[in-house]
A and B are shown apart, each in its own frame.
Chain A
Amino acid sequence: MDARRKLFRLKDAYSDNGDLLFVNAMKEICKFEYEHCQEYAELCRAVSFKPDDIVDMDSLALLPVIPTLLFKKHTINAHGCGLKITSTSSGTHGNASVISFDLGGLLCGLNMVLRLCRRHKVLSARPVRYIVMGNKMHKDNKTAVTKTAFGATFFAPALSRRYALKYSNGKYSADLSDIIQEVIQYSHGKAPVRFMGFPSYTYFMLSTMAQKNISVRLPKGSMILLAGGWKQFYTQQVDKAELYTLAKNVLGIEESMITEFYGAVEHPIMYTDCKNHHFHVPAYSRVFIRDVDTLKPLGFNQIGIVNLLTPMVKSTPLLSVMTDDLGILHPPCECDCGINTPFLEIIGRCGLQDIKTCAAGAAEILKKTEF
C-alpha cells in the first residue's frame, strides 16, 4: 500500500505519532508532482528543492509554498492521475481557484471524513431535518463549500433539506424570513434539526430571531454545523461566545452541539473543532505559521500567515499551500480536550479587503466603462 493511503487509513484521526508516515506520504506525492506537473517542477527547480530533500518534518518547511492566490490566477494540474473531479473556491474576493481531485485523493478524503465525523460524533442514524445556511446545489455552482454543505447532509439521514440561499435568474439570494418560519414549524416536531453552512448567515438568522423576540426549543439532538468561514461578512465576525449564547437562547441548542469546520478547496482537510472549539491539526495535515514579512516559519503562539500541508491530492500540487488567513499555532498542552496535536487559531484575513476604499470603487467603475 502506498504511503498516502496508509496515512489516510490511520485509525486515530489525531494520531500524534504519525510524523514518519506523513513525511513519507509527502515525499511520495512530491515525487509524483515533480514528474507529472510541469509547473511544480519549475517551482522546485527555481527554489533548488528536490523531492529527495524531504527527510523529516523540518525539511517540509523547504517545500515550495504555493499561495492560494496563484491557484486563483492559474489552473495548475498534474497529468497521469486518471479521472478527475473539479471544484472551485468561493471567490469571495474576486477570482476563484479551480482545483481538480483525483479518485485516489477523493477516497482518502472519504476515509478522513468518516473518521473525523465519528470522532466528533457528527454521524448519526437518526433522521434529521437539514437547514443549509448556504447555497443550494446547482449545475452552474462548482464551489467546494456548496458541495461540502450538501455532502454534510448525509452525516445523518435527511428527512428534508431547506436552503437559506436559493438560485434563481442566475444568482443566489437569501431567504431568511422563510427559514425562520420553517424553524418555528420544526420546533413543534420530533425530528432533530441540523443547521449546516456559513457562520455569518447562521449568526444573522439567530440575531434576527433575537431582535424579533422569537425563541423556540428545537428537538433534542439538534445541531449547528458551521463551515465556509465568515467570507464577506468578516468585519461583522462576532465573538464565537456570542453566537453560542444566541443559539442557546433562540433555538435551545447547547454549545456542545455546535461544531465548526475549517478548510479550503486548496487544502481539503476537514479541520473540526474540539469541545473547547479549537481546530486541532489532524494526522492528514501539518501547519507552519510564517512570518508576515519574511515568510520564515515561526514557532508556537506567534501570529503569521497560515501555511497548510497535506499529501491528499495528486492531480493538483496542493502539498504546501499558503492561505490568505492569519493564524496562530498553539501547543497541544493549551487544550484539555484530550487531543494531543497542536491547534490552529484563525484570527483574520490578510489585507484590508474588507475596507472598501473609494479608490477601489472607482477602479470597479473604470473596469466596467467601455472606452
Chain B
Amino acid sequence: MILANGKINDSSKQNEVLSTIEDEINLTRQTLTLKSDIVIRALNQLAKKVENGEYNQLITSVLPVNAENYLSQALNMLSLENLESKMHYELNGYQPYSEFLTPQTNGKRLNNQVLPLGTLFHIAAGNVDGLPSYSVAEGLLCGNVNILKLPQADNGITIKILHELIELEPQLAPFVYVFDTPSEDVTAMKKMAEMCDGIVLWGSETAELAVRKMAPVGVKLIEWGPKLSFAYISGNFNCDSDLTKLAEHIALTKQLFCSSCQNILLDTNSDDVVKSFCDRFFPILNCAAEKYCSTSIGSRAENTLKKHCEQFENYIYHTKPLPYNSTNCSITISQSPNLELSKLFCNVIVKKVPQKTLLGTLRKSKHVLQTAALICPDSQRELLADLLTRSGVTKVTFSGDMSAAFIAEPHDGEYSLRRYTRIVSIEE
C-alpha cells in the first residue's frame, strides 16, 4: 500500500504517485510551514488513544509477547511534556523556525534561522515494529516533508499508524508519503532519493552500500546503526538482581536491537571465574528465557535446528558437548575477546576482557559500538563508565536498561533532530 497526501492507494499506483509528488512537495515547501507544536499535539493525541485502548486489536496482533513494558515506555515518550523536552534538549532550545542574531563583525551581522532540512527519505529497518513511524515522526517534529520506504518485513502497522496520525491532524497530510517499494526496484528508490535533501538510513551494511550507490551527489546521508551492544561486569559477578535484569533484557529484546546485549564481557583473566559466572548465570537466563519465550514458531524452529545441527556435529566430529544449553537459551564461552554477534534469541556469548585490555579490545570494534550495561561496585562505576565511553561506547546503562527509552536520549551518540534541521543565515 501507498500513503500519499493522506490517502491510501494500492501499490500498483506507485509510478503514478511518484510521477506527481515532486510538484506536490515543491508546492508544500513553497506554501506551507509545519510547526512542531502541531506535530507534538497530534502525536500526543495518538498516544492517548492508544492508552485508552482504541487500537488494542491492532497492537495485540503485532506486539511481541510480554512487550507491554516497551509499549508503555514508548507512550510515555509521546506525552506533551516529554515531546517538548525532547525538542528543547535536542535542538538546544532553538525550535524550528526560531531565529537568533549573530554578534556584529565589522558592523555586519547575520540573522540565523533554524529550518527543517527539507525533504527526508527514510529507509527503515524491519527489526523493530513502529520504528519506521518513529523515524517519520522525528522528521515531522522538525517540519520536514517525509518520504518513507517501508522495510520488506513491515506488517502493515506503519501505514495504519501514520494514517491515524493524519486523521487526527490533517495538516500533516502533505508532509507524509509512504511507499512499500521493494528494495530491488532501484528506479523508484532513485526517484525518491532524487527528491530529498537527506536520506535517513536505518539498517544493515548491505542497505547502506546500496543507498550510497544510488544517492545523488551531495545529499546528506543520515545513518543510524548497524551497531553492537554488550554488558561489562567487573567485581559483581554474583549479583543475582543485576544478572536477573540483564537476563530479562536479553530474553525480552530477543537480542534483535542495536542496543541488545550480544556479549557479556567479564573483567577477569581466569577461566575458573568465567565458568563460575556461567554456572550462576545460566539458570537465571534460562528462567528469563522461559518467562519471555518466543511465540514465533519460525524462531523456535530455527533455534531447534541450530541445536540439532550442533549435536550432530558433536556426534560426527567429536567436538565437546555443549554446556549451558537449553531449548530456550544458551551461553557460549569464547576465547576471543573481540565483540561478535550472538546467535540471537537468548544465545549469549561470554568473554574474558580484563580492564587493562578493555579499551584496546573495544577499539577493534569502534565503528559498531553502541550500548554497554555496566555491572560493578558503585565505587568503580565512574571510572569504568569513563573507560567505556573513551573506548567509543555511546551509552552506558544499568543492567536492565540497555534498551530502555530515556527523555532527550541521543541515538548512536547524536541528537537526531539536530541532524534533521539546518541553520540558514540572512545578512541583516
| CB within 8 Å of A: which B258-310 residues | 258, 260, 262, 296-302, 304-306, 308-309
Determine if A293 and B300 form an interchain contact, defined as CB atoms under 8 angstroms apart.
yes
- Closest approach, in angstroms, between the C-beta of B380 and any C-beta of chain A? 27
Of B138-146, B159-167, B240-248, B333-341, the segment with at least 4 beta carbons within 8 Å of chain A is B333-341
Q: Which residues of B contact A236 (CB under 8 A)?
A: 152, 182
Which one of A39, A326, A361, A371 lies within 8 Å of B364 (CB-CB)?
A371
Is A248's beta carbon under 8 Å from chain B? no
Q: Which residues of A contact B258 (CB under 8 A)?
A: 358-359, 362
CA distance A371 to B255 in the complex (A): 25
Q: Which residues of A contact B304 (CB under 8 A)?
A: 292-293, 295, 305
CA distance A343 to B306 in the complex (A): 27
Known: A43-B316, A358-B202. A235 touches B367 (CB 8 A): no
Q: Which residues of B contact A235 (CB under 8 A)?
A: 126, 152-153
The interface size of chain A toward B, counting residues with CB under 8 Å, comes to: 52
CA distance A70 to B257 in the complex (A): 28
Q: Which residues of A contact B368 (CB under 8 A)?
A: 362, 365-366
- Closest approach, in angstroms, between the C-beta of B336 and any C-beta of chain A? 11
| CB within 8 Å of A: which B191-216 residues | 202-208
Closest to B300 in A: A292
Is A139's beta carbon under 8 Å from chain B? no
CA distance A356 to B364 in the complex (A): 23
Determine if B309 and A70 form an interchain contact, defined as CB atoms under 8 angstroms apart.
yes
Is B327's beta carbon under 8 Å from chain A? yes
Q: Which residues of B contact A361 (CB under 8 A)?
A: 203-208, 225-226
Q: Which residues of B contact A366 (CB under 8 A)?
A: 228, 338-341, 365, 368
Interface bits A290-325 vs B (CB < 8 Å: 1, else 0)? 001101000000011100000000000000001010
Known: A212-B15, A351-B299, A365-B226. A358 touches B203 (CB 8 A): yes
Which one of A67, A355, A363 lies within 8 Å of B312 (CB-CB)?
A67
Determine if B228 and A356 form an interchain contact, defined as CB atoms under 8 angstroms apart.
no
Q: Which residues of B contact A324 (CB under 8 A)?
A: 301-302, 305
Is B125's beta carbon under 8 Å from chain A? yes
Is B313's beta carbon under 8 Å from chain A? yes
Is B184's beta carbon under 8 Å from chain A? yes
Is B227's beta carbon under 8 Å from chain A? yes
Determine if A359 and B296 form an interchain contact, defined as CB atoms under 8 angstroms apart.
no
Interface bits B305-327 vs A (CB < 8 Å: 1, else 0)? 11011001101110000000001
CA distance A216 to B344 in the complex (A): 48
Of A104-112, A140-148, A150-158, A203-211, the segment with at least 4 beta carbons within 8 Å of chain B is A203-211
Determine if A67 and B309 form an interchain contact, defined as CB atoms under 8 angstroms apart.
yes
Q: Which residues of B contact A204 (CB under 8 A)?
A: 182, 184
Determine if A356 and B338 form an interchain contact, defined as CB atoms under 8 angstroms apart.
no
Is B391's beta carbon under 8 Å from chain A? no
Determine if A39 and B338 form an interchain contact, defined as CB atoms under 8 angstroms apart.
no
Known: A211-B15, A293-B327, A356-B203. A70 touches B153 (CB 8 A): no
Determine if B308 and A357 form an interchain contact, defined as CB atoms under 8 angstroms apart.
no
Determine if A352 and B296 form an interchain contact, defined as CB atoms under 8 angstroms apart.
yes
Determine if A355 and B184 form an interchain contact, defined as CB atoms under 8 angstroms apart.
no
CA distance A286 to B206 in the complex (A): 39
Determine if B297 and A326 form an interchain contact, defined as CB atoms under 8 angstroms apart.
yes
- A-B Cβ contacts below 8 A, count: 169
- Closest approach, in angstroms, between the C-beta of B27 and any C-beta of chain A? 25
- Closest approach, in angstroms, between the C-beta of B187 and any C-beta of chain A? 9
| CB within 8 Å of B: which A119-168 residues | none
Closest to A38 in B: B316
Q: Which residues of A contact B397 (CB under 8 A)?
A: none
CA distance A298 to B206 in the complex (A): 39
Is A57's beta carbon under 8 Å from chain B? no
Is A349's beta carbon under 8 Å from chain B? yes
CA distance A267 to B368 in the complex (A): 40
| CB within 8 Å of A: which B233-259 residues | 255-258
Known: A362-B341, A363-B340. A326 touches B301 (CB 8 A): yes
Closest to B317 in A: A74
Q: Which residues of A contact B309 (CB under 8 A)?
A: 67, 69-70, 73
Is B394's beta carbon under 8 Å from chain A? no
Which one of A64, A233, A305 lies within 8 Å of B301 (CB-CB)?
A305
Determine if B152 and A358 form an interchain contact, defined as CB atoms under 8 angstroms apart.
no
Is B127's beta carbon under 8 Å from chain A? yes
Is B14's beta carbon under 8 Å from chain A? yes
Q: Which residues of B contact A305 (CB under 8 A)?
A: 301, 304-305
Q: Which residues of B contact A214 (CB under 8 A)?
A: none
Determine if B14 and A211 form an interchain contact, defined as CB atoms under 8 angstroms apart.
yes
Determine if B203 and A46 form an interchain contact, defined as CB atoms under 8 angstroms apart.
no
Is A66's beta carbon under 8 Å from chain B? yes
Interface bits A53-79 vs B (CB < 8 Å: 1, else 0)? 000000000001111011001100000
Is A348's beta carbon under 8 Å from chain B? yes
Q: Which residues of A contact B153 (CB under 8 A)?
A: 235, 354-355
Determine if B228 and A363 form an interchain contact, defined as CB atoms under 8 angstroms apart.
yes
CA distance A161 to B298 in the complex (A): 38
With a 10 A CB-CB cut-off, give which of A43, A362, A371 has the most chain B CB atoms.
A362
Closest to B339 in A: A366
Is B379's beta carbon under 8 Å from chain A? no
Is A336's beta carbon under 8 Å from chain B? no
Q: Which residues of A contact B31 (CB under 8 A)?
A: none
Q: Which residues of B contact A174 (CB under 8 A)?
A: 184
Q: A73-B309, A357-B226 are in contact. List 8 more A-B contacts (CB 8 A).
A: A67-B309, A210-B12, A235-B126, A322-B305, A355-B127, A356-B203, A358-B202, A366-B228
- Can you name 8 A-B pairs with beta carbons within 8 Å? A47-B315, A64-B312, A293-B304, A303-B297, A352-B299, A358-B225, A363-B341, A364-B205
Give B residues with C-beta under 8 Å from A. Answer: 12, 14-15, 125-127, 151-153, 182, 184, 202-208, 224-229, 255-258, 260, 262, 296-302, 304-306, 308-309, 312-313, 315-317, 327, 338-341, 344, 364-365, 367-368
